[in-house]
Structure 1
């Protein structure tokens, strides 16, 4: 692949990064705090691509001017030599070397870039969650909860308080949390959030088992907002034997997929 093609591919990669960083698409790959790095990387690649294209254009013009000057000098010398020695045969001129075109198959490198721009990958869901053990960690401490009833709380925070604080901080109040549905091989329902430290590659599930007034039909990967009360019941993840608390559901309703489907509370 020549320099012009390299510059074109670099420009497309930079444009893809700017597109991802300027929309919510980047949240499918990295956490929200890294948006500025995605945008910076895209801008740097575009500037580098433009600089490469300008340098190649300038070098091509310089090369063309040098070739034209050499041809004029050769023609002048040949004309002078012909006039001085008309009897001598004109020297043969070696044919110019022709550059071989680059293989067109190299442009297939553009296809993954176009896929990044045109096709948004789905966030990790129930398939990954049920094949990975719960990543619930013992919290270092607990933030003060609002006085509302039900208490709005993220799923990871609820799971930590339910398992390690035994629900004492809830004070008997109900809670409201959201996540996507996952079903185990026996059809038991879980509400799950994928928690990440840096990017989607290190995302791990935190699971809450559901009991009580569960909707009769649950679709895996569907998002629910669930209101319920703490229960001391705890089960263990069959993948890694990690603790999974229960929530006694009193109300559940479907919600749209959030713009940021991952939980980043571990980074706060």
Structure 2
């Protein structure tokens, strides 16, 4: 891979990053607050690629030879001092004067793969399969000091907030309030559907599922990764996650409805 090819790959990579950053595609990989940094990184890659192409494609500068100066071909041995017998060394060539060409490592072509992934085959956000392969994120004891729920009936809370209050606060901060949660359907340890939502600290690589068991009016006949909105109340029932043996809280479902996939799929 020569310098021009490197610049083209760099230009494509920067363009793919900027394209993903100005749309909602980047939300499949990182948190929303990282958008400015992604845009800045993509623009920096584009600038670096353009500058490299300009440097490589600019016309070669001509060197003026003063009158009376020794002619290179006649007065200087071929190849210059210390290089007699090997022919003249041409500035800017990719040869070292011994017939050997200099090439960058071919592994650089692998940079084209993330470009194709972002432009052509963008993978979906983590869903039910990832939730089934990882243990619930609520596996460590936390301080059970939660503020009261906001006003409203039902009050809209995140799956993580409800699960934390139900598991570590024993539902004390929920009381008899009705709550409304949004998540996707996944298969539970007993084959019954559960409500799940992926949470991440930085990017999709550290995504972990938060799982909720469902009791009461349990949704039936829905495929995995179907997004639903559940309205219900606190349940003191607990289950066990077979992946990491952590406790899974439940919610008493009063009603539910199918909803479109939200713009922000991670919590």
TM-score (norm 2): 0.80
Shift of 1:165: 1.2
How do 1:160-175 and structure 2 match up within 5 A? Answer: 160-175=164-179
Aligned-partner SS, 1:182? strand
Using the alignment, how far apart are the partners of 2:35 and 2:237 within structure 1? 40
Runs of 4+ in 1 over 6 A off after TM superposition: 94-103
Residue of structure 2 equivalent to 1:129? 131
Any idea what the Cα deviations from partners look like across 1:73-111, whole Å, max 9, x if unmatched?
Answer: 789x7xxxxxxxxxxxxxxxx8999978989x8767535
Alignment match of 2:122 (pick from 106, 120, 126): 120
Any idea what the Cα deviations from partners look like across 1:12-52, whole Å, max 9, x if unmatched?
Answer: 11101101111111111111111111111001111111111
Shift of 1:171: 2.8
Aligned-partner SS, 1:43? helix
Shift of 1:186: 3.3
Using the alignment, how far apart are the partners of 2:196 and 2:227 within structure 1? 9
Residue of structure 2 equivalent to 1:4? 4
Q: 1:216 to 1:121 in 2, by over 3 A?
A: same
Aligned-partner SS, 1:262? coil
Asked if 1:221 corresponds to 2:220, the answer is: no
Using the alignment, how far apart are the partners of 1:181 and 1:32 within structure 2? 23
Using the alignment, how far apart are the partners of 1:185 and 1:207 within structure 2? 11
Shift of 1:115: 2.7
Asked if 1:37 corresponds to 2:41, the answer is: no
Using the alignment, how far apart are the partners of 2:21 and 2:126 within structure 1? 19
Shift of 1:230: 0.8
Note if contact 1:139-1:160 (Cα within 8 Å) is conserved in structure 2. no
Q: 1:147 to 1:96 in 2, by over 3 A?
A: closer
TM-score (norm 1): 0.80
Asked if 1:209 corresponds to 2:178, the answer is: no
Q: 1:197 to 1:111 in 2, by over 3 A?
A: closer
Q: 1:57 to 1:66 in 2, by over 3 A?
A: farther
How do 1:1-268 and structure 2 match up within 5 A? Answer: 1-58=1-58, 60-62=59-61, 65=62, 109-136=111-138, 137=140, 138-139=142-143, 141-184=145-188, 186-263=190-267
Using the alignment, how far apart are the partners of 2:143 and 2:223 within structure 1? 31
Per mean C-alpha deviation after superposition, the further-off stretch among 185-194 and 196-205 is 185-194
Count of residue pairs the alignment pairs up: 240
Q: 1:45 to 1:249 in 2, by over 3 A?
A: same
